[in-house]
Amino acid sequence: MAVMGREWLADAVMYEIYPQSFADSNGDGVGDLRGVIDKLDHIASLGVNVIWFNPCFASPFVDAGYDVSDYLTIAPRYGTNDDLAELVTKAREHGIRIVLDLVAGHTSIEHPWFRKELNADGPDPEGDRYIWTEELPDRTWTRDQPGRPAWVRSPGPRRGYYLKNFYDEQPALNFGWVERPAAAPEELPLQDESDQPADVRVERPRDDSWRDATDAPGPLRNRQALRDIIAHWLDLGVAGFRVDMAFSLVKDEELTRGYAETVALWRELREWLDKAYPDAVLIPEGAEPRTGGPLAFDADFFLVIHDAHASLFNNQYAGRLPFQAPREPFFDAEGRGSTRPFLDAWATARDNHPDRSIILATADHDFDRLRCGPRTPEQLGAALMFLFTWGSVPCLYYGDEIGMRYLPGLPDVEGSICDPGYNRAGCRTPMQWDDTANAGFSTAGPTQLYLPIDPDPDRPTVAAQQNDPSSTLNLVRELIALRTATPALGTRASTVVVSEGYPFAYVRGGTHLVVLNPRREPATLPFDGATAIRASGVDITPGELRLAGFGYGVFAMPA
Whether 3 shows a pLDDT value over 70: the answer reads no
Whether 544 shows a pLDDT value over 90: the answer reads yes
What is the pLDDT at residue 327?
Answer: 77
Instruction: Give the C-alpha separation, 193 to 196, whole Å.
Output: 8
CATH class for domain 494-556? Answer: mainly beta
What is the model's pTM? Answer: 0.93
Lowest mean pLDDT among 98-107, 127-136, 148-157, 361-370: 148-157
CB atoms within 10 A of CB 22: 24
Q: How confident is the model at residue 201 (pLDDT cuts 50, 70, 90)?
A: very low
Q: Which residues contact 514 (CB under 8 A, 6 or more apart)?
A: 385, 386, 389, 390, 505, 506, 507, 508, 552, 553, 554, 555
Burial class (CB in 10 A: 0-12, 13-18, 19+), 504: buried
Mean pLDDT value of segment 421-426: 89
H/E element holding 101? strand 97-103
Q: How confident is the model at residue 318 (pLDDT cuts 50, 70, 90)?
A: low
Instruction: Give the C-alpha separation, 239 to 235, whole Å.
Output: 10
- Asked whether the domain spanning 494-556 has the same topology as the one spanning 5-103+299-483, the reply is no
Instruction: Give the C-alpha separation, 331 to 304, whole Å.
Output: 14
Mean pLDDT value of segment 384-401: 98
Instruction: Give the C-alpha separation, 167 to 62, whole Å.
Output: 8
Q: For residue range 212-260, what is the model confidence (pLDDT) as tens digits?
A: 999 999 999 999 999 999 999 999 999 999 999 999 899 988 766 679 9
What is the pLDDT at residue 545?
Answer: 96
What is the pLDDT at residue 136?
Answer: 83
* Total length of the chain: 559
What is the pLDDT at residue 398?
Answer: 98
What is the pLDDT at residue 488?
Answer: 98
What is the pLDDT at residue 330?
Answer: 96
Whether 316 shows a pLDDT value over 60: the answer reads yes
Mean pLDDT value of segment 420-439: 94
- What is the percent of the chain where pLDDT is above 90? 81
What is the pLDDT at residue 323?
Answer: 66
CA angle, 34 as apex, 29 and 40 as ends, to 5°?
A: 115
Q: What is the 3-state secondary structure (H, E, C) of 524-556?
A: EEECCCCEEEEEEEEEEECCEEEEEEEEEEEEE
Q: Where are the domains of the chain?
A: 5-103+299-483, 494-556
Is there a contact between 223 and 231 (Cβ–Cβ < 8 Å)? no
Q: How confident is the model at residue 149 (pLDDT cuts 50, 70, 90)?
A: low
CATH for 5-103+299-483 is 3.20.20.80
Instruction: Give the C-alpha separation, 191 to 430, whole Å.
Output: 44
Is there a contact between 314 and 332 (Cβ–Cβ < 8 Å)? no
